């Protein structure tokens, strides 16, 4: 059931973004991406949000204006002809655009904006200067509100129920596709919106990676430690038609999205027993996630968690298998999560800004063994004032089934 955000949610989001705009020296920001527009307006119709560093924002809508007006929490008007966008902004924000000696500096979400749109904007609004505000916008969303945490927690409940239904159905010979169908059906019936969004260019994600044995270890373009064989080269990730066998790892890396907010979790299962090499690696993954829980505290840099995980994997001789294998290894331990799967901060080298209370991160230590499979675990955590709290509620165990 949809839960409407409280009114202060929109006020606080506006204040946070405007504070960052002022700090960065930007006069305003233009948001073009659907997720960013929804975050700041409460609507996801085609258009553009103009957020001044001071004053009230305006949502300029091309389609559907009537729906946007009924949903939006900010001033919402029709865009009209795109060629006249600059004149429209001048009329609505005369103080910002009327200074003959200064061109307003407008930030934009250039990390996701198509080049064609950028050129159209520069032509339609020639009186402005443009600057990339991608990092600023991602930082705005990195700290979650009570409402956002509640939605992610609800998604965790749904994912946990779906996982148990999937585990209960596991049988030798059933295909990966049959297993994820059961999991997806359980989530959809409880409100999963059916998609999970990613910000990264050309990155797509399905319900998750549900794959067994060597199929889970097959590399792919997806920026994650496990790819999966997929159903065809047109969808080269996640489930395939491969039957699930005995004594092989079954990776169940699933997400669930409720009211736009996503949980990300992974559990490993086996029908029979894991080979000793994979069991040892699974135990290391558990040790890494426990150490990460100790470090997930305000003031700790995200890159420290990644560095310590790398060291733990290297100490036991598993560095070549950690978070992928060979050239296909990914260079992170975890990632922020919320309206998108790949939010900030990232637990990776170069992310030095300390963790803050309210940040939500998925931590996913995994080990890949070509020809054998992938083992690991993943939880989503909320950073609190004193440490962290797991939002994932599925039991932290290796699911061992007997056929």
Q: Who's near 403: CB < 8 A, 6+ residues apart? A: 171, 172, 246, 271, 272
Instruction: Verify cis geometry, omega within 30 degrees of 0, for the bond prior to 344.
Output: no
> Which architecture does CATH list for 7-140?
3-Layer(aba) Sandwich (3.40)
Please list the residue range(s) of the chain that carry CATH number 3.90.230.10. Answer: 146-401
Say yes or no to pLDDT of 40 above 80: yes
Helix (H, G, I), strand (E, B) or coil at 281: helix
Among 34-48, 201-215, 279-293, 345-359, the least confident range: 201-215
How many angstroms separate the Cα of 225 from the Cα of each of 67, 209, 219, 253, 322? 40, 10, 9, 11, 8
Q: Who's near 48: CB < 8 A, 6+ residues apart? A: 30, 31, 32, 37, 59, 60, 79, 85
Largest CA distance in the chain: 78
Which tokens is 138 given? 């991602």
pLDDT digits (tens, 9 = 90+) for 235-258: 999 999 999 999 999 999 999 999
The share of the chain scoring above pLDDT 70, in percent, equals 100
Neighbours of 34 (CB within 10 A): 16
* Residue owning tokens 């998108």: 340
DSSP H or E stretch at residue 40: helix 34-41
Please list the residue range(s) of the chain that carry CATH number 3.40.350.10. Answer: 7-140
pLDDT digits (tens, 9 = 90+) for 69-109: 999 999 999 999 999 999 999 999 999 998 767 899 999 99
Helix axes 176-188, 146-169, angle to 10 degrees: 140
Helix (H, G, I), strand (E, B) or coil at 311: helix
In CATH, 146-401 is 3.90.730.10: no
């Amino acid at each position: 059931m949809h839960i409407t955000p409280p009114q202060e949610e929109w006020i606080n989001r506006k204040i946070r973004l405007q504070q960052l705009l002022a700090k960065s020296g930007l006069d305003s920001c233009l948001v073009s991406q659907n997720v960013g527009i929804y975050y700041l307006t409460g609507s996801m119709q085609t258009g553009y949000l103009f957020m001044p560093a001071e004053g009230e924002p305006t949502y300029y809508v091309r389609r559907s204006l009537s729906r946007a007006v009924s949903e939006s929490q900010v001033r919402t008007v029709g865009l009209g002809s795109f060629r006249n966008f600059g004149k429209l902004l001048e009329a609505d924000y005369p103080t910002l655009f009327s200074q003959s000696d200064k061109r307003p500096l407008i930030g934009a979400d250039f990390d996701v904006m198509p080049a064609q749109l950028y050129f159209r904007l520069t032509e339609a609004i020639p009186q402005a200067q443009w600057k990339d505000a991608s990092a600023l916008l991602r930082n705005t969303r990195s700290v979650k509100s009570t409402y956002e945490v509640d939605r992610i927690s609800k998604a965790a409940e749904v994912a946990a129920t779906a996982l148990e239904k999937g585990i209960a159905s596991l049988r030798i010979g059933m295909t990966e596709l049959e297993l994820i169908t059961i999991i997806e059906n359980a989530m959809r019936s409880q409100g999963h919106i059916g998609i999970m969004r990613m910000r990264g260019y050309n990155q797509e994600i399905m319900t998750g990676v549900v794959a067994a044995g060597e199929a889970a270890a097959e590399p792919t373009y997806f920026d994650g430690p496990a790819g999966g064989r997929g159903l065809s080269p047109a969808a080269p990730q996640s489930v395939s038609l491969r039957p699930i066998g005995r004594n092989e790892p079954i990776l169940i890396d699933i997400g669930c999205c409720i009211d736009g907010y996503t949980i990300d979790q992974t559990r490993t299962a086996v029908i029979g027993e894991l080979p000793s090499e994979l069991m040892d690696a699974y135990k290391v993954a558990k040790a890494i996630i426990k150490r990460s829980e100790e470090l997930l505290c305000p003031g700790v840099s995200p890159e420290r968690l990644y560095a310590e995980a790398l060291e733990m994997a290297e100490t036991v001789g598993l560095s070549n298998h950690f978070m992928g294998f060979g050239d296909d290894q990914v260079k992170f331990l975890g990632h922020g999560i919320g309206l998108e799967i790949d939010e900030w901060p990232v637990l990776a080298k170069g992310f030095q800004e300390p963790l803050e209370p309210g940040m939500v991160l998925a931590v996913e230590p995994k080990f890949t063994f070509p020809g054998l499979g992938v083992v690991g675990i993943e939880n989503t955590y909320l950073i609190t004032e004193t440490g962290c709290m797991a939002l994932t509620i599925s039991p932290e165990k290796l699911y061992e089934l007997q056929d």
